[in-house]
Chain A
Amino acid sequence: MFPELNSILNSTPDSFKSSDFILVSDRRADASFLIHHHLSFYLRAGCKVCFLGLVQSFSHYSAVGQRLGVSLAQAREKGQLVFLEGLKNSIGVILQEDTSQETQPLSYLRTPGAGLEGLFRFVESSVRQSGDGDAGESWGPPVLLIDDLSVLLSLGVSVGAILDFTLYCKATVCSELQGNMVILVRCEEEDADDDEEGSNLLQRGLVHQCNLALHVEGLPTGYCRDIHGQMEVWWRQEGETICNRRKIFHFKVHDKGASFFARGTSSAVL
């Protein structure tokens, strides 16, 4: 959890907006540090978290979570965190032709054209498990975290299927259960006439659905060792105001967190 980011987004683990769909995207940069922030944020807030870890192993998130002050292994044991190991389980699906019940969420690997229904059923069953009667623990509103959604494009799933999946998730998690969703999408360069099924199309579709968009890019002036990039925050306004708020910050990622500052105020420059 990054305290500076909490103040920028005006949210703390004790009081945050519910039914929120947060989209984290990047272009030729790495925005995964924001996923670590949200993971530790919602675990601290006591929410029930369903994490689809499609690109890294559990111990990676666990090691980073340790530095940020949350224990993922403990959360998983208590039942607060449900983690889908994408990398490890996908080997079995493709190479061993494993068709057991456990690999149903990853059925898109076998038949990419069929869509993400198996994955949605997994998400639905994870977020609806509340009041198990196990330890009497009742967690807060459910949160769905996905890292990252654009890897499904590399595995052959179509943009339309992914957008359908996010709509279903939004309807279940945000509208029905008043929970939050945080999705990471990684894009490439804007190619005007090239790719119909590109990640840019996916990102545009998701920006249309989301409430808050955090977009991470490299600095427009070139590479700098002390400023790792710029982050654009965009809020969708509900209510009377017509114009949408948009702010740009520069950031630097440390070992134990990230610092955000207004453009031009990096300590390297001043």
Chain B
Amino acid sequence: MAAPVRGMIGSTSIGNTTSFQKKTRSKLVSIPGTRPSVQNGQLLVSSGVSSLDYVIGGGLAVGTLLLVEEDHYDSYSRMLLKYFLAEGVVCGHELFLASARDHPDDIMQELPSPIVDDVAGMKISEGQSQPSDPENPDTMKIAWRYQNQPKVQTALASSVRFGHYYDVSKTMEPELRQAAKCHSFYQLQETPVVTASSPLPSPYHSLLKSIQTVIRKEGFDGSTPQSKVRNVLRLGLHSLGSVLWGDDVCCKDNPAHCHALTTFLYILRGLLRTSLSVAMVTVPSHLTQNRAVMGRIIRLSDTAIALESFKGSEKETNPLYKDYHGLLHVRQLPRLNCLSCEVPDTKDLAFKLKRKQFTIERLHLPPDLSETLVDVQMGFTVTCRILEMSQGRAPL
């Protein structure tokens, strides 16, 4: 059951009612790493990248599916998947990782390490790296008024912040990684089950069965007694639709299983809606010949974004794009429990991957056309930027 903002009513009522309970007067169930949305009261989790959270309306709603269309070399989409999983580790959520190409353990070992706030505390704990006062390394010389304050907790064991930053050049410590519970599904090691009666091919069917088993066993659908602490399950499914999953939608014009991936996404969304879980699915859309199938896949997911990296294309040398690594297209934003959806003010977004941050920025400012008053000064700057962009010069 998703978004349990109604609180602990009783396990029977949770089994009967469905997901997306509207925020009511009763007390909020707080799960670490989540927060309610300001627009419609949905329970949100962070995707690991704070600028992506902003672009998709505050975060990923629990019970929804995020579709990421991969870039050509699958570098940035894989990075987004790792951010998503790393955020799950830091917040203490449970993880489920399924992949067909690389072993899930390899992906888990590459997770970026979180950036800790209290740098001074870390250095003191390391010891030799800094020349300190020989008698008493803990005395403060400048901020002596804070000497008697309690030390800030540096361990990220139960972080309640929403959204963290990660250092891509370092990998996450094994202790931190192993503290998180991770279920994995590696397609090449699964024994194929003959399911003659199911319209789904075997890999997708076994993946769905595996996801359902985890949800049931760990009680994400509300079937366990109330004593267990609630948690969110993060599902990361890598490169669905590729040939290694037994699907030929990416290599043939008229695939034999053209409905396999769409049926899979339909059932997956059903599973997500009835449990406390979030899924991020990456799909190599640049390999599908059939644009209509891609349109259907986008409509079957809730939030859909596409990454287009400049590597290897002629855009790499375009002076307009020299500060960025690629373009980010927002294909679809969900309407959850309300009529309107999050409307971004511009759809021209570009991303760049820095060591400590994955930033998403507006490439052009939109025309100054809104119902609210706009500052005259800002309007002037907007026009200047647009003129410069159109003349091919880099902005100020």
- The chain A residues found within 8 Å of chain B, CB to CB, are 28, 30, 32-33, 36, 57-60, 63-64, 66-68, 85, 87-88, 90-91, 94-95, 97, 109-112, 151, 153-156, 186, 188-189, 191, 194-195, 198-199, 223-226, 228, 253-258, 267-269
Contact = CB atoms under 8 A, between A and B. Distances in A.
A156 B18 contact: no
B290 interface: yes
Contacts of A151: 266, 299-300
Nearest to A154: B262
B337 A60 contact: yes
A154 B300 contact: yes
B269 interface: yes
Given A87-B269, A188-B292, A267-B371, A60 B20 contact: yes
A95 B337 contact: no
Contact of B347 (A58, A59, A223, A256): A223
Contacts of A186: 299
Given A57-B18, A64-B339, 20 more contacts: A57-B20, A57-B274, A60-B336, A90-B266, A90-B267, A94-B199, A94-B263, A95-B267, A97-B198, A154-B259, A154-B263, A154-B266, A189-B295, A225-B343, A225-B344, A225-B369, A226-B371, A228-B343, A254-B340, A257-B339
B263 A156 contact: yes
Interface of B: 17-22, 197-200, 205, 208-209, 212, 259, 262-263, 266-267, 269-271, 273-274, 290-292, 295-296, 299-300, 335-341, 343-347, 366, 369-371
A109 to B, nearest CB: 7
A90 B203 CA distance: 19
A268 B371 contact: yes
4 nearest CB pairs, A to B: A154-B262, A63-B337, A188-B295, A156-B259
Nearest to A87: B270
Contacts of B291: 188-189, 191, 194
B335 A32 contact: yes
Nearest to B208: A95
Contacts of B292: 188-189, 191, 194-195, 198-199
A153 to B, nearest CB: 7
A67 B335 CA distance: 14
B262 A155 contact: yes
A125 B290 CA distance: 39
A269 B212 contact: no
A228 B341 CA distance: 10
Contacts, number: 137
A85 to B, nearest CB: 8
A58 B18 contact: yes
A112 B269 CA distance: 19
Contact of B200 (A58, A94, A228, A267): A94
Contacts of A155: 199, 259, 262-263, 266
B64 to A, nearest CB: 11
A155 B369 CA distance: 42
Identify which of B205, B274, B295, B341 gathers the most chain A CB atoms within 10 Å of its CB.
Answer: B295
A256 B197 CA distance: 45
Nearest to B344: A225
B266 A63 contact: no
Given A94-B198, A188-B295, A256-B339, A63 B22 contact: yes
A97 B259 contact: no
A201 to B, nearest CB: 11
A91 B263 contact: no
Contacts of B339: 33, 36, 64, 67-68, 253-258
A60 to B, nearest CB: 5
A91 B296 contact: no
A186 B300 CA distance: 11
A53 B220 CA distance: 24
Nearest to A56: B273
8 contacts: A28-B295, A30-B335, A59-B17, A60-B337, A90-B270, A94-B200, A94-B205, A257-B339
B296 A153 contact: yes
A247 to B, nearest CB: 22
A64 B338 contact: yes
B370 A225 contact: yes
Contacts of A110: 197-199
Contacts of B22: 59, 63, 66
A255 B338 CA distance: 7
B340 A59 contact: no
A94 B267 contact: yes
Nearest to A68: B339
A199 B19 CA distance: 29
Contact of A88 (B270, B300, B340): B270
Nearest to A267: B371
Contacts of A191: 291-292
B2 to A, nearest CB: 9
A154 B370 contact: no
B262 to A, nearest CB: 4
Given A64-B337, A112-B259, A253-B339, A59 B212 contact: no
Nearest to B253: A194
